Amino acid sequence: MPAHRVVIGVDSSTQSAKAAFTDAGTGAVLAVGRAAHQVGGADGARESDPEVWWRALREAVAAGLKESGLPAAAVTGIAVAGQQHGLVVLDGEGRPLRPALLWNDTRSAPQAAALTEALGGADAWAARTGSVPVASMTAAKWQWLREHEPHTARSAAAVRLPHDFLTERLAGTPATDPGDASGTCWYSTADGAYDPELLGLVGLDPALLPPVAATGAVRVGSLTAEAARELGLPEGIAVAAGTGDNMAAAVGLGLGGAGLLDQPVLSLGTSGTVFAATRTRPTRPSVAGFAAADGTYLPLACTLNCTQAVDKVAAVLGLHRDAAQAGGEVVLLPYLDGERTPDLPSASGLLTGLRHATTGHQILGAAYEGATVTVLRALDEVLRACGLDPADPDVAARPLRLVGGGARGRHWVETVRRLSGRPLLIPQNGELVALGAAALAAAAASGDDPVALAAGWQSGHTAELPPVERDVETWNRVTDVLTRATPALLA
């Protein structure tokens, strides 16, 4: 295989690193190396050592090289897509001062609420940044650090996002992209730059932040001699700016200015995520109005409780995750880690509607239904952020692209199909984030458009499932409980 046709797309997620060795001409994934991350914390804390991410990236690349049988000289570009929002604080030597605060660390919920109020409310934030501070956002985490560990905040010589940290290790120069930067709440999607007033609000010196590349596909540097030695790759290959994991998944699906626009996607993983690429700049407080990796926008809503919460319910009941049945009268809101959408950071799980005839299988089915209704309600808000009416028959009939680990689960697919009433498209390539990162790497090496590249690759089969009649009765029962319970869940 010609050397110039191989690139590496790295998916550095909450739980692991994956390195997809990809043929830049066809999009064929030749090998995927994997290595685990470690996440610690209790009582709302979720933290990881960034050095573990770097070690895992090295291990994943080594494993991918071995699996592929490729010579290292075949690789010509690399890009990292990372978990969004995490706060990485570094000393003057580029070493972490403390473990990174991850996106699902909910301790910063009070700081998020205070920041929202300080700027004049949710609408003011959405107009500036596209998003409203919640516990997940980086600005809230920085504010938490300033209040709880002021010495660490004062000692910081650099502030990075997870993918920024890894990209800088590769290229030796600081860089980020508009997509991941737009998840900080100190970057203005209106201006396409860091917002000086918001940085002042959180007391953050802009000199601590990396420059923002024009897109995630921009070549921000070349693989340094040190990184090349650690990774076993050629020195000088292209390093792309990279992006956040959701932005990379959109690229991998061919969503964006050179591909599909206003087409909904639902990702079923530890979190439930819904998004669409659009040319309309999102300013609805109910969604995260992110920038995309290619210069368009990516309105997105994320729920904290999805497959992991349902698996926990299955474990408590002693059932296999696919042993579920439709919930009947039972409603279970599986908000085991609080919730992000709706914004209920202190919530816990809620079970109601039990009868003598209720079975454990139905309770498990109700967990699926509660998680699915929550994320589909968020999808309606994403569609509105695209300037669409979810009740419009044409919009309601648009296929829903179903991705993530849950898309491989029979009962997840059945529940989404039944409660959405939409046709489902299920790409069989399970590494869309890494594939999107590979497209960014290929674009950095060639100058091509990454979305056009990914759309042209058409890698992997897509299963198509026709719509079924929507289960309106279950939908109404779950949404009614959620509406009535929200005041208590907020308490």
Distance CA(181)–CA(185), nearest Å, equals 8
Q: Has 83 been labeled as part of a binding site?
A: no
- Using alpha carbons only, give the angle 408, 414, 415 rounded to the nearest 5 degrees: 110
Rounded to 10 degrees, what is the CA torsion of 156, 160, 161, 165? -110
Of 388, 426, 409, 385, nearest in space to 266 by CA: 426
Strand partners for 303: 272
- Using alpha carbons only, give the angle 353, 307, 104 rounded to the nearest 5 degrees: 105
Distance CA(366)–CA(331), nearest Å, equals 5
Catalytic residue among 11, 23, 245, 449: 245
Distance CA(417)–CA(156), nearest Å, equals 48
Residue 117 neighbours by CB under 8 Å, 6+ apart: none
**Backbone torsion region of residue 482, taken as left when φ is above 0, otherwise alpha when ψ lies between -120 and 50, otherwise beta:** alpha
Q: Has 84 been labeled as part of a binding site?
A: yes
C-alpha distances out from residue 32 to 78, 429, 453, 468, Å: 14, 12, 20, 36
Residue 86 three-state SS: coil
DSSP per-residue letters across 355-404: -TT--HHHHHHHHHHHHHHHHHHHHHHHHHHTT--TTSHHHHTS-EEEES
233 and 74 Cβ atoms separated by less than 8 Å: no
Burial grade of 421 (CB within 10 A; 0-12, 13-18, 19 or more): middle
Strand partners for 17: 12, 35
Whether 262 is catalytic is: no
Distance CA(154)–CA(69), nearest Å, equals 47
Burial grade of 457 (CB within 10 A; 0-12, 13-18, 19 or more): buried
Burial grade of 347 (CB within 10 A; 0-12, 13-18, 19 or more): buried
Catalytic residue positions, numbered: 245
Binding site members: 84-85
